[in-house]
Amino acid sequence: MSDVETEENPLAGLVQAALDKDYNKANEIFGDAISVKLNDVMDQERVKLAGQIYNGEPEDEEDEIDPETESDDEAEEDGATEEED
């Protein structure tokens, strides 16, 4: 036999638990998967921020959000238009 372990997709367990109607187990698997992904994103942001603070790396301008632009986009998505007097 081979000593190589095959890695199982964690979401396969989520789907199987849902099919088995074991919703508590499905919820646990979902929570674990989301926590891992959230921790990965937070770690990436920590590295990026540390680089900006301690190494003087430039900020990514595309990541910045302009509050005025954001509110205009939201109004367009909602179908609302502003009328000027």
User: In the chain, what are the domain boundaries?
Assistant: 10-77
Per residue in 5-21, pLDDT (tens digit) is 666 787 899 999 999 99
Closest-CA residue to 13 (of 24, 2, 3) = 24
Report the percent of the chain where pLDDT is more than 70: 62
Other beta carbons within 10 Å of 17: 18
Quote the pLDDT of residue 85. 46
pLDDT at residue 61, rounded to an integer: 65
Within the chain, how many helices (H) and strands (E) appear? 3, 0
Torsions phi, psi for 17 (to 5 deg):
-65, -40
